């Protein structure tokens, strides 16, 4: 029993993870999206599964793959679909980690036919998408809720504001500044920020090692 606890420290824990970008349709052939690869979210799912967790991975469009058939993979396209999937899974989760790069805005109307080229300028009317993370922060009970943030300025201050506003138990600050770090890269540099203002910086590492650091931190703090 002791060995199992050591090797599968997340056994019995249900973890929900969101990953990848979302695509917001403009017409039948076009969308607004971003360059998120999904690597960080899939790394979290794979490492969590290897640590014994029961994982539901809610993924936007991504070429990444899961390495364990125990992972329940829910593929979605838009922010609205990701919102619905997340709210279905969240009530039974123990831990939720939202690493997806959700589009902040979507076209207010989706054209039924392909939009034709006409005027010299073309204005898009956008509306806000659902903030999935904030909405979960408003309904959370026992769940340990983790957000990600990518800030290009005032990283710690902005991160702290997001942590409080969205009612999180932890926020993972993604540092874009260093070489080889960020969208599409295999490495990442993160700093963890807790509600008690505890700041835990990590060095540049492979995304699976970053995932291990994050999950270990959660394990050490979940019942604390």
Interface positions with Ca ion (CB under 5 A): 104
Per-residue mark of binding to ligand CTP, 103-122 (x: CB under 6 A)? -x------------------
CA distance 38 to 210: 14
User: Which residue spans within 4-66 are E strands per DSSP?
Assistant: 14-19, 24-27, 30-32, 54-59
Contact with ligand CTP (CB under 6 A): which of 45, 47, 98, 192?
98
- Report the residue number, 9 or 34, with the smaller CB distance to ligand CTP: 34
Listed residue (66, 65, 63, 52) closest to 3, CA to CA: 52
Contact with ligand CTP (CB under 6 A): which of 43, 44, 93, 102?
102
Binding partner at 131 among Ca ion, ligand CTP, none, C-beta below 5 to 8 Å by kind: ligand CTP
Please tell me the count of residues contacting ligand CTP according to CB under 6 A: 16
- Does 84 bind ligand CTP (CB under 6 A)? Our answer is no
- Does 214 bind ligand CTP (CB under 6 A)? Our answer is no
SS3 194: coil
Q: Give every CB contact of residue 185 below 8 A, 6+ residues apart in sequence.
A: 39, 207
Residue 34 known to be catalytic? yes
Identify the burial level of 42 via C-beta atoms within 10 angstroms of its C-beta, where 0-12 means exposed, 13-18 middle and 19 or more buried: buried
Per-residue mark of binding to ligand CTP, 23-52 (x: CB under 6 A)? ------------------------------
- 141 marked ligand binding residue: no
Listed residue (109, 101, 108) closest to 128, CA to CA: 108
CA distance 96 to 48: 12
Binding partner at 8 among Ca ion, ligand CTP, none, C-beta below 5 to 8 Å by kind: none
Locate all alpha helices (DSSP H) within the chain, ordered by sequence.
2-7, 39-50, 79-89, 132-139, 155-165, 207-221
Contact with ligand CTP (CB under 6 A): which of 16, 51, 57, 149?
149
Q: How far is CA 73 from the centre of its chain?
A: 14
CA distance 199 to 20: 26
Which residue out of 34, 158, 167, 221 is catalytically annotated?
A: 34
For ligand CTP, the binding residues in 151-180 under the rule CB under 6 A are 162
Binding site for ligand CTP (CB under 6 A): 18, 79, 98, 100, 102, 104, 129-133, 147-150, 162
Q: Which residues are annotated as a binding site for CTP?
A: 104, 114, 148, 162, 166
């Amino acid at each position: 029993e002791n060995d199992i606890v050591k090797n599968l420290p997340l056994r019995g824990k249900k973890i929900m993870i969101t990953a990848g970008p979302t695509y917001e349709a403009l017409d039948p052939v076009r969308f607004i999206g971003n360059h998120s690869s999904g690597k960080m979210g899939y790394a979290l799912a794979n490492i969590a599964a290897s640590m014994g967790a029961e994982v539901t991975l809610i993924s936007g469009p991504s070429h990444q793959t899961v390495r364990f058939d125990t992972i329940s993979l829910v593929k979605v396209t838009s922010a609205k679909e990701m919102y619905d999937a997340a709210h279905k899974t969240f009530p039974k989760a123990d831990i939720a980690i939202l690493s997806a790069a959700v589009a902040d805005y979507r076209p207010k109307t989706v054209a039924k036919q392909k939009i034709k080229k006409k005027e010299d300028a073309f204005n898009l009317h956008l509306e806000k998408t659902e903030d999935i993370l904030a909405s979960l922060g408003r309904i959370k009970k026992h769940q340990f809720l983790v957000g990600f943030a990518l800030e290009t300025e005032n990283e710690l201050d902005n991160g702290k504001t997001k942590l409080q506003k969205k009612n999180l138990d932890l926020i993972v600050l993604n540092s874009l500044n260093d070489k080889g770090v960020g969208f599409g890269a295999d490495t990442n540099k993160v700093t963890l920020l807790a509600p008690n203002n505890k700041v835990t910086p990590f060095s540049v590492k492979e995304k699976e090692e970053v995932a291990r650091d994050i999950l270990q931190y959660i394990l050490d703090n979940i019942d604390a």
